[in-house]
Amino acid sequence: MPEGDTVWQTAQRLHQALAGAPLIRSDLRVPRLATADLTGRQVLGVVPRGKHLLTRVEGGLTLHSHLRMDGSWQVYGPDERWRGGPHHQIRAILANAAHTAVGYRLPVLELLRTGDEDRVVGHLGPDLLGPDWDPDEALRRLLADPSRPLGEALLDQRNLAGIGNVYKSELCFLLRVSPWLPIGEVPSPERLVAHAKKLLEANRNRRVRVTTAESRRDRRLWVYGRPGRPCLRCGTPVRAADQGDAGQERSTFWCPSCQAGPQGPVPS
């Protein structure tokens, strides 16, 4: 699933391509929006909110989309070939005279009044890359359930918005604590919030995400996606396991030597 930095980059591309010009094409390919037409309306801006995208247009309307696991927005020039996937996977087309934005495999696409945006994003915690960022409020929300495992608390967008599976695992490693450690037992939890902000800020303008300061492809991340491979810090094989409530489990990666605390489920 795209994380906050990826969504931020997508919003920037869409904003640069669409904002300030009227739409000459509007094609929303979901049943409930089959009759909606934004043609002739000017795009006012595209705003990221956590992992959500809000495309605001004239007339007080917002097109809300969410990428979930494999959705994407691609931007093309007038004569450029579309390469985002098969034609039947297209869910939205927004075009002005200079650019065409195509939304592929979008699991969430809805049109609402701009004044009603809180209905879809009002539940989110402070946005790590947003103007509403408030580290004290993020910390308060994280610690509201002190018994909750750290990895699960970080993924909950109601605590702080923008962290996905990659940053969850990498943050736990950088703090040297297990993803299964209760959030209330994390030493100096304010460091957790500061590290989260620092990592997303550092990567929001990068094409390739890096948390280690290494440029080699196989050394850009400390533990994420490295099960069974040596920890880059101590050499112990990195472990992986599912974490989360039944039906909502997400893969978690950690070093059992570098990270103190409960070591997750016993390998089968």
Whole-structure pTM value: 0.91
Q: Is 250 a catalytic residue?
A: yes
Q: How does pLDDT run across 117-126, given as a tens digit for each residue?
A: 999 999 999 9
- So what's the pLDDT on residue 266? 57
What average pLDDT is seen over the chain?
94
Whether 190 contacts 135, CB under 8 Å: yes
Q: Is 182 a catalytic residue?
A: no
Q: How does pLDDT run across 176-200, given as a tens digit for each residue?
A: 999 999 999 999 999 999 999 999 9
When pLDDT is cut at 50, 70 and 90, the band that residue 172 belongs to is very high
Domains and CATH numbers, the chain: 4-122 (3.20.190.10), 135-254 (1.10.8.50)
**Does residue 267 carry a pLDDT above 60?**
no
Which residues face 103 on adjacent strands?
Answer: 73, 92
Catalytic site residue from 2, 48, 149, 179: 2
Distance of alpha carbon 123 from alpha carbon 161, whole angstroms: 10
Q: How does pLDDT run across 234-255, given as a tens digit for each residue?
A: 999 999 999 987 777 889 999 9
Q: How does pLDDT run across 142-157, given as a tens digit for each residue?
A: 999 999 999 999 999 9
Distance of alpha carbon 92 from alpha carbon 111, whole angstroms: 12
Catalytic site residue from 13, 250, 256, 262: 250
Q: Is 189 a catalytic residue?
A: no
When pLDDT is cut at 50, 70 and 90, the band that residue 40 belongs to is very high
Catalytic site residue from 49, 51, 56, 197: 51
- So what's the pLDDT on residue 1? 62
C-alpha dist (Å) from residue 146 to 97, 184, 229: 53, 4, 32
What 8-state DSSP symbol labels residue 21?
S
Q: How does pLDDT run across 63-122, given as a tens digit for each residue?
A: 999 998 899 999 999 989 999 999 999 999 999 999 999 999 999 999 999 999 999 999
pLDDT-above-90 percentage for the chain: 89
**Does residue 268 carry a pLDDT above 50?**
no
At 200 the three-state DSSP class reads helix
Q: Is 68 a catalytic residue?
A: no
